[in-house]
Chain A
Amino acid sequence: MTLPGGNPESNAPAHVTPTEREFPSPPEPSPVSPVFDELTRARTKEIISLYPQSRSALLPLLHLVQSVEGFVSQDGIRYCAEALELSTAEVSAVATFYTMYKRSPCGEHLVSVCTNTLCAALGGDDIYDRLRTHLGSAERPLAHEETAGEPGTPGSITLEHAECLAACDLGPVLQVNYEYFDNQTADSAVELVDALRRGERPQPTRGAPLTDLRTVELELAGFVEDDAVIGETTRVEGPSSAIESVRGARLAEDNGWAAPAMPDEPPAMPALPEKK
């Protein structure tokens, strides 16, 4: 077999050469959306100042942009990237990894129903199914993370199924804007979302008075609006614990059970271990 002379490039037929493809030119690096105002910028700096390294501020910052826009938009991603001197790809990679960052506009309220095994066995699946058809229709039930009503408008509700919400002794549970509503039934859940749609704010079983998703995202970022109806001090109020959580402690009180008594004075510390 004789090999042709020359080299592969020069021997290749001309039509193999890729023709120049026209790519749309990337948009100008837009000045980040004006919704991120002076206040947001000041808060951004404050968050960054909390950490030894600035990139640690990314998760709180994403909560912050979500509180401004109601979801994490492309603008929000660019805002975080600029604030932390990261690429938008790096920020996108993070924003898409975590379920709490929503990539499309959400309702005024976010309703999360636990459908993990234990809650599901106690009725969580029924609650979720009822809410899907109730907020949607029997023909077209609402899908995961779908919104009933125009996103952002009063009374609009985004519905999602959630993994274990760590309140298994209170199951089935659901959360509205991450506030717990314990021991739910399909009927109580329907009543709850109807109240939300009417503009009411039912009191969670544990936690602070209900607000809306954006207010809560701001709290997650570490801030409370100065003009908030319910101030920072009031928002920590509420019951110490659910009744269920203290059943063991109450049982001990009722029966006079206790841990062995501690010595009156702290016992002497162990000797300093010898250096190796």
Chain B
Amino acid sequence: MSTPEKEPVRAPDPVTPVLTRRWTSPRSWSIDTYEQLGGYSSLRTAFAAHPDQLIQLVKDSGLRGRGGAGFPTGMKWGFIPQDDGSGTGPGAKPKYLVINADEGEPGTCKDIPTMMADPHSLIEGCIVTSYAIRAHFCAIYVRGEALHCIRRLRAAVREAKARGYLGTDILGSGFDLEIVVHAGAGAYICGEETALLDSLEGRRGQPRLKPPFPATSGLYASPTVVNNVETIASVPAIVTGGSDWFRSMGREKSPGPKIYSISGHVERPGQYEAPLGITLRELLELAGGMKDGIPLKFWTPGGSSTPLLTAEHLDVPLDFEGAAEAGSMLGTTAVQVFNETVSVPWAVMKWTEFYKHESCGKCTPCREGTYWLAQVLQRMVRGEGTTEDIDTLVDVCDNILGRSFCALGDGATSPITSAVKYFRQEFLDLIASQPDVERLEQLTDVKLAQRTNGTALSGASA
């Protein structure tokens, strides 16, 4: 840390556009606009430095991954084994930079506007990052449904190449880099970094067991950095402004500005870039308050995989530590706001159907668990729930959490366990309002089937 003794200063302004600053310009996605607004100026500063200095700079800045987990970015880059001159070992292998642009976490909608309005900021960040980790091939894995982002990123790569920012011997630095914009094909799981790597290798997008981590054994079993779009787009400003400037926003352990995506029942949903640590109360004020004045019921701080919160949590500082202390996670700062008209069991059912659909099927607890969770919730919403169903849900969640390779399974349990924690009474009321359903025990079920079909259940006919 360059200034460990300094108290973190909250920026005085409630909205601090750094990444979103250029979005309001006409043709903000073109290289002319980008350069006019100071774009690509970080490259000369970066190339004048040693790659390890850049890694140290990003470590000093305290930048943490913007894709959900919040892992310190500089530390991730530092894990890449570098060539020790021996010509053997992982350091001798080619290094790769892979950008995770597979935005699909329910509620999350920050990377797509970033790539649509300001693709060059990502390209510039990719060049600096690749130089720092000594990668000469970078892939941007964009979800296939984000077609217009793919077009603009590819155009940005062409423009950058034409101006000498990509290709061989960039700006006379001797550094070479190629960027490929890779279109995904519609699988949420590919947002998980190892599943993304498998998908980029032309396979089914299924997560790998870690360790080995991508830093040593990533794309093509070579050292790989996988970072989110917003993370890498933040890098040029850190190079130009320095780590102290970056730390003048946000909080000690979660510094910098962050794009908060506010959606749902608010007057003015949208993207609000604010210093990390802003509260929902402040965000709601920026977004014009609750739509039509209908009170808040529940919200997610960072997508559906982060446990939901309630009106009690209006003053929780939304940074990595604050959200965790409140029993949730910061995730992708996708703030989905729901008012009193929305039924919690219904919302949880819809999310669970999503996880069921997107479970890749590799790990049994997640594959089977999400399937049964969806069935239990569906019958509850349909009007056939029983009080035991709540225990069944919690029990199944307990058997998924921590028992699958990746975070999808864990994420699937978050909305359910948090909903039961804060809204158990609503589940009970829903069930109590339903007429008693006669649920046949399994055995009677079989007998009934035999009677109605007139056949023995002995498998296929001969």
User: Which A residues are within 8 Å of any B CB, using their own CB?
Assistant: 50-53, 55-60, 62-63, 84, 93-94, 97-101, 112, 115-118, 120-122, 162-171, 175, 177-180, 206-208, 216, 219-222, 232-233, 235-236, 238, 240-242, 244-253, 255, 257-260, 262-263, 266-267, 269-273
Contact = CB atoms under 8 A, between A and B. Distances in A.
B112 A167 contact: yes
B147 A97 contact: no
B202 A94 contact: yes
Nearest to A241: B117
Contacts of B257: 259
B184 interface: yes
A248 B57 contact: no
A257 B109 contact: no
B25 A240 contact: yes
A242 B56 contact: no
B273 A249 contact: yes
B28 interface: yes
A59 B109 CA distance: 24
B313 interface: no
Contact of A252 (B16, B186, B202, B203): B16
A98 to B, nearest CB: 4
B105 A164 contact: yes
19 contacts: A53-B220, A59-B202, A163-B354, A166-B111, A168-B108, A169-B261, A169-B271, A171-B269, A207-B148, A233-B155, A236-B29, A236-B152, A241-B24, A248-B286, A262-B242, A266-B42, A266-B240, A267-B245, A270-B243
B357 A163 contact: yes
B17 A248 contact: yes
A235 B13 contact: no
Given A269-B49, A269-B57, A273-B56, A121 B264 contact: yes
Given A52-B94, A269-B54, A165 B145 contact: yes
B44 to A, nearest CB: 9
A270 B112 CA distance: 33
A135 B42 CA distance: 53
B32 interface: no
Given A168-B336, A169-B109, A236-B152, A220 B147 contact: yes
A166 B146 contact: yes
Contacts of B23: 240-241, 245-246, 249
Nearest to B94: A52
Given A63-B183, A235-B151, A241-B116, A247 B244 contact: no
Main secondary structure of the interface of B (DSSP, over half): mixed
A65 B145 CA distance: 17
Contacts of A167: 109, 112
B286 A116 contact: no
Contacts of B347: 117, 121
Given A240-B117, A245-B113, A273-B52, A257 B16 contact: yes
Interface string B329-361: 000001010100010000100110010011010
B90 interface: no
Given A247-B270, A248-B274, A257-B17, 12 more contacts: A52-B137, A59-B182, A97-B205, A98-B187, A117-B106, A163-B188, A164-B105, A166-B111, A168-B261, A220-B150, A241-B23, A269-B53
Interface in B256-289: 257, 259-265, 268-274, 286-287
A218 to B, nearest CB: 11
B375 to A, nearest CB: 18
A159 to B, nearest CB: 15
Contact of B11 (A98, A178, A260, A267): A260
Contact of A248 (B15, B94, B200, B342): B15
B239 interface: yes
Interface in B68-106: 94, 103-106
B14 A84 contact: no
Interface of B: 2, 11, 13-18, 20-21, 23-29, 42, 45, 49-50, 52-57, 60, 94, 103-109, 111-113, 116-117, 137, 143-148, 150-152, 154-155, 180, 182-188, 199-205, 220, 237, 239-245, 248-249, 257, 259-265, 268-274, 286-287, 304, 334, 336, 338, 342, 347, 350-351, 354, 357-358, 360
Contact of A121 (B304, B342, B360): B342
A162 B201 CA distance: 25
A257 B26 CA distance: 20
Nearest to B358: A163
Given A169-B262, A240-B25, A247-B270, A97 B187 contact: yes
A62 B183 CA distance: 11
Nearest to B190: A98
B268 A166 contact: no
B68 to A, nearest CB: 14
Most buried by B among A121, A208, A250, A270: A270
B145 A175 contact: yes
Contacts of A222: 154, 183
Given A168-B334, A169-B109, A251 B150 contact: no
A245 B56 contact: no
Given A206-B116, A259-B11, A246 B24 contact: yes
Contact of B52 (A51, A179, A272): A272
Given A244-B270, A263-B245, A272-B53, A257 B113 contact: no
Given A168-B109, A236-B155, A266-B240, A60 B188 contact: no
State the 7 A-B residue pairs at the shortest beta-carbon distance, nearest first: A247-B270, A58-B202, A248-B272, A98-B185, A168-B263, A267-B242, A55-B202
B241 A250 contact: no
A169 B263 contact: yes
A253 B24 contact: yes
A260 B245 contact: yes
B147 A178 contact: yes
B148 to A, nearest CB: 4
B11 A245 contact: no
A267 B137 contact: no
A56 B201 CA distance: 4
